[in-house]
């Protein structure tokens, strides 16, 4: 044994050291606990130096920058150069001051308006490791910061606190490959999981290919992850191609545009509403209410004919039916609602749009007004021919499915679902003399052959 140890002393020491570190890692991974002592020592030793360096940089960088600027204008006149240099020094100094003041003011305004309780912090250094995207901020557990807290700016989320030390905290940025957060899109309310990619853009994962996401659409935090309160902006979609199973939605983080300098750590988050956006692709179209008739319009047949809806008029089936029956009443000098019960009603069999022929006493203009919509949209409107006999009418009529626009009892394609349901009983009762006038219907799609789902 002694011979072995003396012969392989170096190797033995190496194995002991490696084994000790492996045990250390295994302990941390298995118990999901950290070794705070070593980290606190290292961070406490490094962060004061970083803060000092940052302080020196803030007060000297402008002068160094101006020095290099002045090197470029050495050939100019000495007096002008001195004046120019002075002005540039002053200008840069004021610009830097103004920029700092603007950022600080924006941060404080956001902090005051946000319902969440936050604390402002400044980034003082990066974490080690080429792949990791972590930064140190100058607020730690003495300021109430804890691991797992969200880090945001007025422009959007930045990351989350992964370690809190007494004087500083380690923040994992949203571009880190191991970062994840729940997000929801603004317009279509598509839920997904934001993942860092190790570069400037992030990926929203677990969104089905069937979901609809627009380029430029905003994503907000959904609050599902219990880290980020709902309603904080995340970023805009730059690309959203379909993937193998899920969409590959790339988002440009809005909170990290132009670098991260000052941030807010959310000590106590309050959920907010995601700002409303326009509905991108509704499955149906809501029609506008019919226009009120002009005051003083004479109830003449011509006027009634004008009341018959034209193609493209935004009226309902009930309005059109009402207009047609009103026209019949005017032609037959019958006023609806008057006369004793049981009095003779108007002869509805003379309604021109029902039988496809104009009434004998109707003016030609009125007939033209009735026929015009049919000619304009032949697939959408069709007159119902009279049933020849009761026996023929009693025979069940098959309902073709391939060309619904050609059937009599089925509505033209593109009609609303409500009119579909209304026409179904009529199709099942062929013997009943139910007449359903075929009227132009405003459809959500310009294509008359398009189905209701399109």
Partner 1 sequence: MTEYTERLLTETPRKAAADRVRLVWLVVIPLIAVLSQVYVPRFIPFLAYLELPLLITVHFALSSGGPIPALFYGMFIGLVQDSLSHQPIGMYGIVKTLVGYFAASVSMRFDVQNPVVTFILAFFFYFFHQFFYWVLSRALLGEALGFDAQQTVIFGLLNAAVALPLFRVLDKLKVAS
Interface ranges with partner 1 (CB under 8 A): 9-10, 13-14, 17-18, 21-22, 24-26, 28-29, 34-35, 38-39, 41-43, 45-46, 49-50, 53, 57, 123, 125-132, 134, 136, 162-163, 170, 172, 177-178
Longest CA–CA separation in the chain, Å: 128
* Residue 123 beta carbon to partner 1: minimum distance, rounded to whole angstroms: 7
DSSP letter at 208? B
* Residue 77 beta carbon to partner 1: minimum distance, rounded to whole angstroms: 33
Residue 127 or 290 having the CB closest to partner 1 = 127
The CA distance from 144 to 43, in Å, is 17
* Residue 221 beta carbon to partner 1: minimum distance, rounded to whole angstroms: 21
The CA distance from 168 to 189, in Å, is 37
- Helix, strand, coil in percent for the chain, rounding step 5: 35, 15, 45
Burial 255-279 (b: 16+ CB within 10 A, else e): bbeeebebbbbbbebeebebeeeee
- Residue 210's CB is within 10 A of a number of other CB atoms, namely 7
Residue 170 or 274 having the CB closest to partner 1 = 170
The CA distance from 293 to 300, in Å, is 13
* Residue 20 beta carbon to partner 1: minimum distance, rounded to whole angstroms: 9
Residue 127 or 430 having the CB closest to partner 1 = 127
H-helix or E-strand containing 327? helix 317-331
Residue 135 or 308 having the CB closest to partner 1 = 135
Residue 60 or 268 having the CB closest to partner 1 = 60
* Residue 18 beta carbon to partner 1: minimum distance, rounded to whole angstroms: 6
* Residue 275 beta carbon to partner 1: minimum distance, rounded to whole angstroms: 32
Residue 42 or 368 having the CB closest to partner 1 = 42
* Residue 181 beta carbon to partner 1: minimum distance, rounded to whole angstroms: 16
**Spatial contact of 149 and 265, defined as CB atoms under 8 Å apart:** yes
Total residues belonging to the chain: 454
For 118, counting Cβ atoms within 10 Å of its Cβ (0-12 exposed, 13-18 middle, 19+ buried), the class is buried
- Residue 217's CB is within 10 A of a number of other CB atoms, namely 19
Residue 165 or 219 having the CB closest to partner 1 = 165
* Residue 193 beta carbon to partner 1: minimum distance, rounded to whole angstroms: 15
Residue 259 or 388 having the CB closest to partner 1 = 259
The CA distance from 336 to 19, in Å, is 100
């Amino acid at each position: 044994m002694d011979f072995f140890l003396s012969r392989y002393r170096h190797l033995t020491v190496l194995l002991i050291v490696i084994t000790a570190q492996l045990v250390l890692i295994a302990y941390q991974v298995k118990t999901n606990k950290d070794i705070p002592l070593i980290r606190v020592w290292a961070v406490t030793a490094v962060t004061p130096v970083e803060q000092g360096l940052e302080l020196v940089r803030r007060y000297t960088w402008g002068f160094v920058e101006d020095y290099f600027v002045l090197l470029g204008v050495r050939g100019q006149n000495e007096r002008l150069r001195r004046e120019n240099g002075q002005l540039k020094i002053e200008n840069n100094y004021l610009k830097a001051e103004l920029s700092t003041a603007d950022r600080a003011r924006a941060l404080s305004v956001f902090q005051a308006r946000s319902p969440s309780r936050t604390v402002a912090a400044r980034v003082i250094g990066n974490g080690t490791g080429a792949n990791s995207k972590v930064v140190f901020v100058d607020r730690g557990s003495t300021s109430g910061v804890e691991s797992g807290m969200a880090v945001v700016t007025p422009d959007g989320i930045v990351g989350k606190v992964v370690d809190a030390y007494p004087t500083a905290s380690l923040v994992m940025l949203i571009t880190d490959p191991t970062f994840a957060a729940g997000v929801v899109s603004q317009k279509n309310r598509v839920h997904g999981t934001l993942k860092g990619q190790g570069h400037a853009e992030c990926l929203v994962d677990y969104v089905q290919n069937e979901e609809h996401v627009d380029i430029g659409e905003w994503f907000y935090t959904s609050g599902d992850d219990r880290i980020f309160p709902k309603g904080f902006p995340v970023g805009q979609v730059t690309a959203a191609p379909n993937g193998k199973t899920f969409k590959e939605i790339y988002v440009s983080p809005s909170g990290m545009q132009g670098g991260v300098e000052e941030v807010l750590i959310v000590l106590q988050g309050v959920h907010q509403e995601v700002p409303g956006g326009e509905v991108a692709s509704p499955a149906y179209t809501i029609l506008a209410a019919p226009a009120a008739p002009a005051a003083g319009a004479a109830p003449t047949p011509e006027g009634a004919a004008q009341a018959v809806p034209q193609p493209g008029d935004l009226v309902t089936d009930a309005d059109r039916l009402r207009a047609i029956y009103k026209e019949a009443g005017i032609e037959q000098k019958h006023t609806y609602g008057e006369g004793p019960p049981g009095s003779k009603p108007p002869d509805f069999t003379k309604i021109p749009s029902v039988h496809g022929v104009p009434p004998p006493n109707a003016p030609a203009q009125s007939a033209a007004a009735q026929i015009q919509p049919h000619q304009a949209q032949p697939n959408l409107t069709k007159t119902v021919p009279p049933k020849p006999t009761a026996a023929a009418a009693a025979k069940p009529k098959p309902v073709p499915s391939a060309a619904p626009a050609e059937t009599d009892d089925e509505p033209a394609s593109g009609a609303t679902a409500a009119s579909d349901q209304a026409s179904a009983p009529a199709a099942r009762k062929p013997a009943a003399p139910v007449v359903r006038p075929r009227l132009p219907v405003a459809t959500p799609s310009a294509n008359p052959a398009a189905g209701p789902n399109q």
